[in-house]
Amino acid sequence: MSIVRDIMTTDVKVCAPHDAISAAAKLMRDIDCGSIPVCEGKKIVGIITDRDIVISCVAADKDPKTTHCHDGMITNVITCSPDIDVHECASLMAEHQIRRIPVVENGDIVGICAIGDLATVNIFVNEAGDALSQISH
């Protein structure tokens, strides 16, 4: 049995609520992903996606240098424990149609698990593919 702790990324890049949306966008570009957890210290208060940036800032003609992450972030963040089974993590991703899930322990972010992380566990490649196909609709 593999658990999320075995496959998650522990070097998680985050933004603070008052960081400019342009900083979040640059971080997404630099680490090649479409979402960034928004944290106060190690506590997750939201998550911001590339789509959130487009909707809340670009399409609203706001300045990405003066608009903050808290202005466009999602606050009802789906998280998981590092000790859940990777099958359960894949199911959560598919159910909520997300590609990355922050991993939280004792209220603090300790990692992030992405579809790609699931695919690295060879026995779960099909499951990760199934989750991805449901997410990509």
Per-residue pLDDT of the chain (137 residues; tens, 9 = 90+): 789 999 999 999 999 999 999 999 999 999 999 999 999 999 999 999 999 999 999 999 999 999 999 999 999 999 999 999 998 998 898 889 888 999 999 999 999 999 888 877 753 444 545 555 554 44
Crossing angle for the helix pair 125-135 and 86-96, nearest 10 degrees?
10
pTM of the model: 0.85
Q: SS3 breakdown of the chain: % helix, strand, coil, rounded to 5?
A: 40, 25, 35
Q: Which two tokens stand for residue 6?
A: 């075995």
CB count in 10 Å sphere of residue 35? 23
CA 113 to each of CA 12, 77, 100: distance values in angstroms, whole numbers, following the listed order: 10, 14, 6
Place of tokens 């960081």: 19
* Per-residue tokens: 82: 């590092």
pLDDT at 76: 95
| Structural domains of the chain, with CATH | 4-135 (3.10.580.10)
CA distance linking residue 24 with residue 99, whole number of Å: 17
* Residue 38 and residue 70 in contact, taking contact as beta carbons nearer than 8 Å: yes
